[in-house]
Amino acid sequence: MVNKKVVIICSIIAVLIVAGIVAIQIKKWQEEENRQEETTLANTNLLSNQNSVENEIKEENIIEENTAQNENTTTNEVVQNQTQTQNQSQTQSQTQVQGQEESTEEAPEENNDDKALRIVEEEWGEDDTVYYTIDNQSNNIYNISVRSKSTTATLAEYEVDVSKGTAEIK
């Protein structure tokens, strides 16, 4: 009988030890699972933050690009307005000179830049959707671009010889 009691007590102790070991192992697995969930959540938050930063950078780049385009359009409009103002001034000067019957003063002579622009404007024809830029000038030879007001794209390029009064499209 003593042997039976000892065997039963030893068996109970062995079962308790095994149960304790199993409980400890289950607790470790749960802790590891929690750490993995926290890591996954942290990675998700990190990716979300990175995407937010990338979106902000893209938005800033788009805003900067739009600003640059607006500045370019404004510059082009100013150049065009200056050209129109110069042309209007020349027309007014010519009209005033024609209106004076006996004037000893002559109309101021048109400078080469204005002559080159006028030649290209006459060659291109009446068009309110374009403006003209002097790209290069050497002696009396001018390279003038006809550009779209809306896109600033070059529509045509002319080589103008002011001394001959000719324009050739490139």
Tens-digit pLDDT profile for the chain (170 aa)?
Answer: 678 888 899 999 999 999 999 999 999 999 999 888 888 888 888 887 777 777 777 777 777 776 666 565 555 555 565 666 665 656 555 555 555 544 445 556 789 999 999 999 999 998 999 999 999 999 889 999 999 999 999 999 999 999 999 999 98
Tell me: do 73 and 24 sit in the same domain.
yes
**Which one, of 144, 124, 149, 122, lies nearest residue 133 by Cα?**
144
Amino acid type, 62: I
Domain termination site, one of 65, 80, 108: 108
pLDDT score of 64 = 72
Q: Is 41 exposed, middle or buried (0-12, 13-18, 19+ CB in 10 A)?
A: exposed
Q: How many domains does the chain have?
A: 2
Tell me: do 19 and 58 sit in the same domain.
yes
Domain span at residue 42 reads: 1-108
